[in-house]
Amino acid sequence: MGIHLLTNRLQHKQKMGESIQAVHYHDDNVITHEKSGLVKLWSIRKSSYDVIETYESGGGYCKSIVLNNSLIVPQENGAVDVLDINNLKKISQLVPEREEPLGRVMCLQEVEIDGTICILGGYETGRYT
C-alpha cells in the first residue's frame, strides 16, 4: 500500500499475505514477515508486486529486524536465523548457549554494547540473551 504524502490518498493497494507483523524495504524490494512465520521477498517495480523468494521462520509474535543487510528472524527452540536480505538465503543460525530451555523468541532488538553491534533477544520464559 502506498500513500501519497501530499494528498494523503491511497496510490496502490496490494494483498501481500496474512497477518503481516513486519515490513522492510530494501533496493526496490519489500520483505513481509507474517505471524505464521512465512517471510516473502517482493519485487515492486512499476506497481507490479511479485514474490521473488520465500522462507519459513518459527512464527509467533516476534517481528523480524534488519541489521547490516541481513534479516534476523525467530526460529524454533530459541534460535534466530540470519538471512541475506537480497535473496532470503540463510547465512547462519544463532543458538543461545543455555542449559535450561528459553522457549520462543518474543522480541529482537539491535543494540550496541561497548562499540559492538549485538542482537538482544527476549524469550517467553522472561529471560534474554
Q: For residue 5, what are the contacts with CB-CB under 8 A and spacing of at least 6?
A: none
Q: Is domain 2-123 classified as CATH 2.40.10.480?
A: yes
Kindly list the domain boundaries of the chain, sorted by start residue: 2-123
The pLDDT, as a whole number, for residue 49 is 86
Q: What is the mean pLDDT of each run of 10 residues along the chain (129 residues)?
A: 58 73 92 94 84 91 93 92 97 88 90 93 87
Residue 87: the pLDDT is: 97
List C-alpha distances in Å: 82 to 60, 65, 70.
17, 10, 6
Phi-psi region of 35 (alpha: psi -120 to 50; beta: other; left: phi over 0): alpha
pTM: 0.84
- Per-residue pLDDT at 66: 96
